[in-house]
Amino acid sequence: MNLLHSAMAGTLESSDIQIMISPKEDGLELILESSVLSQYGIQIRSTIMEVLEKLEVKNAKIIAMDKGALDCTIKSRVETAVFRAMDQNKDLPWEVM
């Protein structure tokens, strides 16, 4: 999937994650800041990359600001940011997820 422009999903509230995604020319770049980075950083990073892989996003810069979000919240925020960056609001490919 090709991103058309930058987009964002989520908040900086407790138990949430804010995902900012923008097009990039050469691969994926993930910047992660988290209040629980030392405990769950590997899992958060893995969850974000898993969603991007399933959605076939190959070139993007992702900035994730985590405030203790659960995996289901992380997944939904990444999906939403990707779909917003593609201007896709109809016929969303939920079956992929």
Question: Which DSSP string corresponds to 20-78?
Answer: EEEE-SSSEEEEEEETTHHHHHHHHHHHHHHHHHHTT--SEEEEEEESS--HHHHHHHH
Q: What is the pTM of this model?
A: 0.90
What are the sequence ranges of the domains in the chain? Answer: 7-89
Work out the mean pLDDT of the chain and round it to a whole number. 92
Amino acid identity, position 35 = S
How far is Cα 40 from Cα 50, in angstroms, rounded to an integer?
15
Tens of pLDDT, residues 29-41: 999 999 999 999 9
Give the confidence band of 1 by pLDDT, cuts at 50, 70, 90.
confident
31's CB contacts (< 8 A; 6+ apart) are 61, 62, 63, 64
CATH architecture of the domain 7-89 equals 2-Layer Sandwich (3.30)
